A and B are shown apart, each in its own frame.
Chain A
């Protein structure tokens, strides 16, 4: 299957700093990528849909100015958590759909963020 990578795999930062998480499709192109967040013992919650060359679409309750998404190319989307606070500590996961339309979304391994 197609491979999606995320970097970093984990990050610890101080409250008030910004953290950038990268999501890459390694062997396919993706016009659409999705960002999810998962708190302990909970299911994945969609945060936003990232579209190459256009603005991201955010789910209700997700602050677009706090979670900046950039989808600059067909293989890279970035999520920046601005002015992070302890309540932003979570497991962030991206997914990407193969441009060739294989009817499948592939997920990255996730990035664990801990804000102190």
Chain B
């Protein structure tokens, strides 16, 4: 699986949009981009995933660049409950394959 690079930490003001970047310059054509988050002392929570097109669900939006070498997870209106470690993962086989977790981005949402 391709390796991902994320900033170690980010801050965001409550109510503002949180934009979390991820670089995956070695991604191959059949690899998906997945985002999970882990709130302290809990199991990871699925957020969103995509292959080529931008995706949106009730939690977030995923913007994938045209060359697919990077992506951005957008939380449109961050709340204090969104404080967590966010993991960007690139994997093949529709997540039937194992997920390799990197260091992730620690997002701190502040009042």
Contact = CB atoms under 8 A, between A and B. Distances in A.
A44 B96 contact: no
Interface stretch (B13-21, B64-72, B74-82, B97-105): B97-105
Given A34-B98, A101-B96, A110 B43 contact: yes
B42 A105 contact: no
A44 B95 contact: no
A93 interface: yes
Contact of B101 (A43, A106, A110): A43
A49 interface: yes
Nearest to A111: B43
B42 to A, nearest CB: 6
A95 interface: yes
Given A43-B102, A43-B103, A95-B99, A101 B43 contact: no
A105 B32 CA distance: 13
Contacts of B42: 109-110
Contacts of B38: 44
B98 A49 contact: yes
Given A36-B101, A106-B46, 8 more contacts: A34-B99, A43-B103, A44-B38, A46-B99, A97-B95, A103-B32, A105-B46, A110-B41
Interface of B: 32, 36, 38, 41-46, 49, 87, 94-96, 98-104
